[in-house]
Structure 1
């Protein structure tokens, strides 16, 4: 009976909508671990509230990240990453930030002498511009940020899944030869399963190579590094280093190759001759080429395209995958720093 009736698709549609909402919330929290209703990503806050229990369970199960959700904030407590501190913050800056949060939570006047502290408090919506031109301070949010649990610095011993999944979620690529033996064995045995898991969890597409695994974002939203003029200069430098150091077709490709200092300097000179110096408000690279070299290499290191080797640098295998082809038209006569006529 009922064979002539149209199939009921409402349940499947509702299930698909729920999965889409949860994936949107997952991606938002991973990219922006603190979300408030009035902040720059406040449009996604209702989704986090609606699926708070599911999100809390899922982040804890897959990544070991605690999630706290209150009426006016959601915070994902991610494990710290090497070389990924808040820009401009050293130990003194972090200490000043904690003291400022404590003062706000206790209704005391915070010390905001260090310029990076009020800037970050504003970004976090703890401090907002008041009608009189001063700062309105959110005592409840400051208290919540201080009281929230901190994640472990590393995944618990004996649980390679958490350690590897954190690397996959937070880094451009994971190379198997750089993993500890238990983690490497775990990942090699679960490449397809983990690719499917991250596709469902975050909408990411896996690229599996002999050297390791990368998760790519088709929407190009989740990167917090490869954006802006400095990043474009850095990726152009990587592309030219790959051209210079790529092995011949009959040669085996090593996981990393030493980059001579002279080649770095010459390549950087070529790129800036061809495309100009990157514009950074806080840096005058025209007057300080040493700072440009430092910042370009530092960014490539955080992208994991190069790595330090004593006092030198090595170019890692993923650089050949991520190096872009320039879309700009270089000026004629470039290349005078590192290429022979």
Structure 2
């Protein structure tokens, strides 16, 4: 299973770690800092020849520069439900209630667009956060108690920064947090090694956290050839060779990593020491049940018990309370335990590379869609509560059509998406899958139990197929659109 393969940390990655002695930023003609190019050529060849999904996984395994991903919405009521409560029937987080202002079959009038909020940027995973996000992690995510020393708050803040952004430099978008990482480098390295089996390297001007491979954390828009170009350019920069920087996607990533920049006159400069530090390191040792489960908990939105091996379930179930306390102290994450599994929530709504609930067209549409799907498919109280249920393909099309008609124009959704419904459908489902609220099942999709935490619990059960765009549930569409 993909999650299990990631968290065990097994796998071979070509390349080695090297820190150049020249250091600092220099012109593109600077002297070689390490002999890393042959390994980069080998990895680039493997990436170029790999199928798309295999290339995504190979690149993530080699570099591991992905951010953690967590739910952020608080539940209503705030009191935790018993651990044996199903997500299907537990409390909900009504973060999108402001959008649900009309009955399901309300027909939009001419004045509905008045006062619609301006569209917001859609969050997507990427190599680095834009400068506007600088300093998000400078303050602790929860108030410091009177008995808690300042050093504990600083360590937690630094650990959260590294988990969200495994590469932190002294001049990048998260430079404000770099002094905390430097100050507590020894403690952080020991803690990440003991709790997660990760390696932390801290140099004078940068810090890098080496994570285990994680399927599904791709660079947006990258194909096998794009990955190969990026790896070759990085290897050339680290080895003092003239890099090929004509590939726009690769160049954008190198700039995001602060490997390539511009001087005061607009000329290109390169940090060869950082390029060498980013070379793929030796793979992490294979992990047992303890590290496997912890990695899944701190990197993914939700962990379902039926996806764990028997040994992993046996390790987690009696330790849920102790692990909750450990991860709350280390990372400020709050544990939500349900019958189907465990989710770690971030009360600060910042320790995630995707946001759901969130702003923007995709996040709003995805949340409204998943609410409709849960309302249609949620097991009734007293019925068996499976970890996932099959979604009729027609229900996806009908529910997405309904929420788009009800909210698209007045909420200021992207005109491009409103004009291209197949692309809209694909990207909304990709976001929900990325947050692990739905999962692919061949040509169909499964609705997972944690999706119910975002669906109103008090509304009456809707009549199946009652939406404007709905078709009978038996009329499944096996065409290409059904693949998601």
User: Superposed, which structure 2 residues align to 1:31-180 within 5 Å?
Assistant: 31-146=164-279, 149-152=281-284, 156=286, 159-180=288-309
State the match for 1:185 in structure 2: 314
By how many angstroms is 1:106 displaced? 2.8
State the match for 2:157 in structure 1: 24
Cα 1:338–1:134 shift into 2, 3 Å: farther
By how many angstroms is 1:83 displaced? 1.2
Cα 1:150–1:94 shift into 2, 3 Å: farther
State the match for 2:379 in structure 1: 247
Counterpart-to-counterpart distance in 1, 2:229 and 2:390: 40
TM-score (structure 1 length as normaliser):
0.86
TM-score (structure 2 length as normaliser):
0.62
Counterpart-to-counterpart distance in 2, 1:296 and 1:58: 37
Instruction: Spell out, residue by residue over 1:6-52, the C-alpha distance to the aligned partner (whole angstroms, 9 max, x if none).
Output: xxxxxx97961111110000000000000001000000000100111
Greater share of residues in helix: 1
> Are the equivalent residues in 1 in contact too, given 2:366–2:432 (CA < 8 A)?
yes
Instruction: Spell out, residue by residue over 1:162-195, the C-alpha distance to the aligned partner (whole angstroms, 9 max, x if none).
Output: 1000000011111111111100110002010100
Counterpart-to-counterpart distance in 1, 2:282 and 2:268: 28
Counterpart-to-counterpart distance in 1, 2:260 and 2:430: 31
Counterpart-to-counterpart distance in 2, 1:70 and 1:96: 27
User: Secondary structure of 2:416's match?
Assistant: coil
Counterpart-to-counterpart distance in 1, 2:390 and 2:318: 31
Instruction: List gaps (5 residues or longer) in structure 1.
Output: 1-11, 326-333
Counterpart-to-counterpart distance in 1, 2:413 and 2:214: 27
State the match for 1:7 in structure 2: none
State the match for 2:40 in structure 1: none
Instruction: Spell out, residue by residue over 1:210-259, the C-alpha distance to the aligned partner (whole angstroms, 9 max, x if none).
Output: 11111111111112112443122112111111111112223222211110
> Are the equivalent residues in 1 in contact too, given 2:408–2:418 (CA < 8 A)?
no
Instruction: List gaps (5 residues or longer) in structure 2.
Output: 1-144, 458-465, 473-484
Cα 1:205–1:49 shift into 2, 3 Å: same
> Are the equivalent residues in 1 in contact too, given 2:262–2:269 (CA < 8 A)?
yes
State which of 407, 425, 429 in structure 2 corresponds to 1:275: 407
User: Secondary structure of 1:264's match?
Assistant: helix
Q: Is 1:208 paired with 2:337?
A: yes
State the match for 2:362 in structure 1: 230
Q: Which moved more, 1:23-32 or 1:269-278?
A: 269-278
Counterpart-to-counterpart distance in 2, 1:28 and 1:16: 19
Task: Write out the 4+ residue segments of structure 1 that deviate beyond 4 Å after TM superposition.
Answer: 12-15, 277-280
Counterpart-to-counterpart distance in 1, 2:253 and 2:171: 15
User: Superposed, which structure 2 residues align to 1:284-303 within 5 Å?
Assistant: 284-303=416-435
By how many angstroms is 1:304 displaced? 0.6
Q: Which moved more, 1:94-103 or 1:36-45?
A: 94-103
> Are the equivalent residues in 2 in contact too, given 1:164–1:187 (CA < 8 A)?
yes
Instruction: Spell out, residue by residue over 1:51-107, the C-alpha distance to the aligned partner (whole angstroms, 9 max, x if none).
Output: 111111111111111111111110111112221112222322222111111222233
User: Secondary structure of 1:318's match?
Assistant: helix
Q: How many residues align?
A: 315
User: Secondary structure of 1:257's match?
Assistant: strand
By how many angstroms is 1:114 displaced? 1.7
User: Secondary structure of 2:278's match?
Assistant: helix
Cα 1:208–1:55 shift into 2, 3 Å: same
User: Secondary structure of 1:284's match?
Assistant: helix
Counterpart-to-counterpart distance in 2, 1:30 and 1:222: 8
